[in-house]
Amino acid sequence: MIALLKRPAVLLLAAVLSTPAGLAQTSPQDAADAERLVRALDVRPGSSVGEVGAGAAAELTIAMAKAVGDAGRIFTNDINKDRVRAIEDAVGRAGLKHVTVLEGRAAETGFPDRCCDAIFMRNVYHHFGDPPAMNASLLKSLKDGGRLAVIDFTPPPGGEAPPGGRGADNHHGITAATLERELKAAGFEIVSSETKDRSVFVVARRPS
């Protein structure tokens, strides 16, 4: 059964999570990202996984729901109410009964405490206006030893901005170094970090 738990937004985020030219997602890229996340997060049948900021089509939520199987559990959210309804529809059309869809908050996952073996997000982190609060919530939502994967993209050279300005023109994105620093400050351990072209992929872990 698909559950929808309404969570009021406390801060307005960008309505569209746009990406730089050349980084827009395609179906092959969705499949490649899903495979990469499954490996990095050690997702298996029966795992409990969360996605933050799934977007209307919820491509990665659906792919991950298939990876964990009927014995697993998926929590997924978005801060935009229209996208939440679209996610519900997409999950329903896919016939997935083990997905819980929530309306996200600006600085909280909205997921239950210690519910997830893994959490991931794609092209979302740089929109956080209060990274310390959101990272604390991410840590709280993970089980001991649980992993977090962040896919994002770098800003133009010299254009990195502080929280709240990372979605602005000429500043859109975040560097891996800044992402690592903010996650460490929240208590995460960095497992791996990679930047290729403008694509960032950082994996962190809640200490056991």
pLDDT at 123 over 90: yes
The whole model's pTM is what?
A: 0.88
Q: When comparing pLDDT for 7 and 108, which is higher?
A: 108
Q: pLDDT value at position 16?
A: 33
pLDDT in tens, 37-76: 999 999 999 999 999 999 999 999 999 999 999 999 999 9
Q: Is 27 strand, coil or helix?
A: helix
Average pLDDT over residues 135-149: 98
Closest to 34 measured CA to CA, from 55, 57, 76, 62:
62
- The strand pair at 189-196 and 199-205 is best described as antiparallel
The CATH class for the domain spanning 25-205 reads alpha beta
pLDDT in tens, 25-41: 789 999 999 999 999 99
Q: pLDDT value at position 18?
A: 42
Angstrom distance (rounded) from CA 127 to CA 110: 17
Q: When comparing pLDDT for 6 and 111, which is higher?
A: 111
Q: pLDDT value at position 39?
A: 98
pLDDT in tens, 5-26: 433 332 223 333 344 544 567 8
CB-neighbour burial class of residue 84 (10 A; exposed 0-12, middle 13-18, buried 19+): buried
Which residue stretches of the chain are H helix?
27-41, 59-68, 81-93, 131-141, 176-185
Are 16 and 169 in contact by the 8 Å Cβ rule? The answer is: no
Q: pLDDT value at position 1?
A: 40
**Domain residue extents for the chain:** 25-205
